[in-house]
């Protein structure tokens, strides 16, 4: 199963995903690229920016 499909299946569970989670769970180093691929397929995915300890990163969630 491709990384994009694994990420989509995870998002379909209603859970958000961050780049660090994608790396640990699926070995995905380029989550933003996989999200872009999923969006091109027509999936509606929301992006939220999260800041922790002065570090900002994205969190992605599938629109229900």
pLDDT digits (tens, 9 = 90+) for 20-35: 999 999 999 999 999 9
Segments forming the whole domain that contains residue 27: 3-62
20: Cβ contacts below 8 Å, ≥ 6 apart: 57
Tally of structural domains, the chain: 1
Q: Is the dihedral of CA 62, 8, 23, 32 positive or negative?
A: negative
Predicted model pTM: 0.91
Across the chain, which has 64 residues, the per-10-residue mean pLDDT values are 95 97 96 97 97 95 92
């Amino acid at each position: 199963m491709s990384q994009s499909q694994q990420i989509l299946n995870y998002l379909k569970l209603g859970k958000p995903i961050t780049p660090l989670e994608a790396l640990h769970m699926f070995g995905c180093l380029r989550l933003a690229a996989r999200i872009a691929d999923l969006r091109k397929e027509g999936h509606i995915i929301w992006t939220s920016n999260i800041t922790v300890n002065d570090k900002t990163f994205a969190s992605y969630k599938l629109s229900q």
